[in-house]
Amino acid sequence: QVQPVESGGGLVQAGGSLRLSCAVSGRSFSSYAMAWFRQAPGKEREFVSCTNWRDGNTNYADAVKGRFTISRDNAKNTVYLQMNSLKPEDTAVYYCAAGPKLLGTYYYSEETYIYWGQGTQVTVSS
Question: What is the pLDDT tens value at each position of the chain, 126 positions in all?
Answer: 789 999 999 999 999 999 999 999 887 777 899 999 999 999 999 999 999 988 889 999 999 999 999 999 988 999 999 999 999 999 999 999 999 888 888 999 999 999 999 999 999 999
Spatial separation of the C-alpha atoms in residues 115 and 51, rounded to whole Å: 15
On the 0-12 / 13-18 / 19+ scale of CB atoms within 10 A, 43 is exposed
pLDDT at 28: 75
